Structure 1
């Protein structure tokens, strides 16, 4: 029995070591949900992947899932080395698969929180959420934190439900912006980050959500802790590196860096999701 136990222990250690050596010396996957079109995500994040490749002495390859569900499953099953998550996917994954090692959260304009925004075209007569009654409104994926779940909470706070308007869903924030600009919908909702990039094209905000912790990087639970720390430190110091500003601006013009994150940072969002998810699942 003792010999069998020792052999099992050796095998487990070898497997863990093999994973760590693979991650350290060969290739790391940096995975994303398709909150924007794949080509746009690749363009935004390739400078970050190049920076991490240099810092970690391993090729960092970007992977964009075909949909939100696939990305959540890949992250939950530890099939991605590094994974980008919105706030809601992070909460859902930890509930279903258990805790994931947290790396950093995003900081825009020196604030590590984000908002959803309802918007319409400049020439629209819509000025508030209550004006959306009877209108055609578009959200993003039903699994998106900032383009569906938080906006739906805002509707609920205003005394509206999906029965009070014509609500549609598209597969990413960018399509929500474009379809609203083209007049296919009277109003839409997305993250403030994506909205700000297109605001000057003819959009204006009509309502903002409370500030929430959302964008976060996590790692596979199988990853060696030393490598986790190395990745985290590389991200935390990025805004102090010579090339750091260019890397950050590639991701978003108002991204100022990455900061430390704790699971408790998502408690406010958990409270919102408890109210919203049952309604969206009807």
Structure 2
């Protein structure tokens, strides 16, 4: 009889214990549902353009996952400082920023943006006018060259790498270097070469593709590409490693689900995600996909690996 009572008491204790566990798990799930997650979007051309492109995507993620997301448009040079201040849950950045932030804070890469003929990859190029007598990198000595922003992977970083690999130090061997300011800097590079203001330009291949497609330039007729980098991951969505895996996987699944027919209601208007965000989908990536970018950053003595 005494043993029976002890056994029943233990069953009650176990039942109570598992009830508490289930309650905690339920509250935890409910807490995630009610929490607002922060997404930091790197500004591409301008704050307004970034908002116009990605607010619809933000709304889609809310509908698809059931979570709330707060939108932040952040300048490239300020991104690490704002990341630390806001402790972003997700970020959308170029691959250089991904490598820098991952080194310091640990991130989980989710997907890379697909666009252009190379999908989720693209490359940096060095361009000259079609009628230029510059045929190779060695011909750039004592020439004027225009670059993109310093943190631009395909408008500065990969070109600096190619120049140094071929024995050209742009700060010593070029006649002049220039970096345009404000918005649409990559277009300014391409036009700067086309109009003859500069002998060569550090142009992202994707921008050349887009401008050719839009009829702004005729790539084959107007330019010669004298150097190309390796194909590397394009803009990347990554997650804060402190997030619950369930949240990360839900967001990743939602991004991979987007296709050319995906729409969202935004301000009483049906918006196509592909057209609004100017993308052609997302592709799953892993951290090893960024090893070549790490190699490039180390070679050019660039953050997060700079030694002096």
| Distance in 1 (alpha carbons) for counterparts of 2:246 and 2:85 | 21
Give the deviation of 1:130 after TM superposition.
3.3
Deviations 1:204-230 (A, max 9, x none): 351321111242111223322211111
| Distance in 1 (alpha carbons) for counterparts of 2:37 and 2:114 | 24
Q: CA RMSD in A?
A: 3.2
Question: Contact between 2:189 and 2:203, CA under 8 Å: does it hold in 1?
Answer: no
46 and 194 in structure 1: CA distance in 2 versus 1, 3 angstrom threshold: farther
Query: Does 1:256 pair with 2:280?
Result: yes
Deviations 1:220-242 (A, max 9, x none): 23322211111000001112754
Q: 120-129 vs 228-237, which deviates more? A: 120-129
Deviations 1:96-122 (A, max 9, x none): 22x212221123346332211223455
Deviations 1:152-180 (A, max 9, x none): 01112332111111222335782242254
SS of the counterpart of 2:37? Answer: strand
> For residue 104 of structure 1, what is the aligned residue in structure 2?
111
Question: Contact between 2:113 and 2:281, CA under 8 Å: does it hold in 1?
Answer: yes
- Alignment equivalent of 2:57, drawn from 25, 36, 48: 48
Unaligned runs of 5+ in 2: 1-23, 265-270
> For residue 243 of structure 2, what is the aligned residue in structure 1?
223
| Distance in 2 (alpha carbons) for counterparts of 1:269 and 1:231 | 25
Name the TM-score, length of structure 2 as normaliser: 0.73
Give the deviation of 1:250 after TM superposition.
3.0
> For residue 209 of structure 1, what is the aligned residue in structure 2?
229
Name the TM-score, length of structure 1 as normaliser: 0.78
Q: 167-176 vs 101-110, which deviates more? A: 167-176
| Distance in 2 (alpha carbons) for counterparts of 1:176 and 1:110 | 19
Unaligned runs of 5+ in 1: 1-12
Alignment of 1:183-198 (within 5 A): 183=195, 184-198=197-211
Deviations 1:66-119 (A, max 9, x none): x3232123335662222012222111212222x212221123346332211223
Alignment of 1:133-172 (within 5 A): 133-162=141-170, 163-165=172-174, 166-171=176-181
SS of the counterpart of 2:103? Answer: helix
* Greater Cα radius of gyration, structure 1 or 2: 2
